[in-house]
Amino acid sequence: MPVPPFTPPATIGGFPVTALLAARAGRCACAGADPATGAPLLLKLGSPGDALLGGLRHPHLAAVLAAGEEHGQPWSALAWVAGRPLRAVLADGVPPQVQALAWMAQLLAALACLHGAGIVHRDITPANLLITPDGQLVVTDFGLAARAGQGGSAAGTPAYMAPEQMRGAPADARADLYAAGVVLFQLLTGRLPFEGNAGAVVQQVLAAAPAAPPAPSHRHPALGCRFDGVLARALARDPGQRFQSASQFAAAISEIAAA
């Protein structure tokens, strides 16, 4: 029997819905508008993590303007961010290294703000990073966000999940930094450190014999080896051997860029 099309509600959190953008398993994202100002909004149902970011503002974080619960389901209203997912940008090829490092600096600045508030994103991927028309990176989609040390579940995108997150352990900031390391690897090489379907990636990351992830210079020889060390640390299996903060990670990249 065909599944009937999803019909979005007329309003979410009291904000009028203007278009359905996506719907899956009882969750939806819609375009909307603020009736008071006419400003465009992203309205979401079934995204509980968004509420954690209420009041948190940073130029590289999508702003959560309001959140609540409606008919037992969490809802949120976010400022509309015009842009193209980094995933689509990467599909066009490896960006210039200067641009890649600028986007990485913006991502790490956003994570420093998020982690400073005690929040872990838990799904940092190129699909959840928007590149605006003026070339700025903005972190979006906080549906899996949790307080640091909470939210123990194996939820996320396997290619970007830290080993402890795959095991279902509560994640802290270092899980986001691992994911950011995967994004940097992809920005520099156009490839992922661990490749294959979801099951193959999990098997490689959680393999019984500890092994370092492939060096970016092996994936993209023209890159040279100057980023090998920083990415080996970012993607360390043991969280204690990774960068311990976004600012520490950013400083290591800046040092390489300045050399």
- Active-site residues, by number, are 123
Instruction: Classify residue 208 as exposed, middle or buried by CB count within 10 Å of its CB (0-12, 13-18, 19+).
Output: exposed
Q: What Rg do the C-alpha atoms of the chain give, in angstroms?
A: 19
Give backbone dihedrals phi and psi of 68, rounded to 5 degrees, phi first: -175, -155
How many CB atoms within 10 Å of residue 199? 9
Q: How far is CA 170 from CA 80, 95, 133, in A?
A: 30, 34, 36
The type of residue at 174 is R
Starting at the edge strand that comes first in sequence, how are the strands of the sheet with 40-45 ordered?
11-12, 15-24, 27-33, 40-45, 73-79, 64-70
Helix H or strand E segment including 91: helix 86-91
Longest distance between any two alpha carbons in the chain, whole Å: 62
Distance CA 183, CA 190 (A): 10
Q: How far is CA 73 from CA 27, 44, 70, 76, 251, in A?
A: 9, 10, 5, 10, 41
Q: Could you give the angle at the alpha carbon of 135 between the alpha carbons of 105 and 138, nearest 5°? A: 60
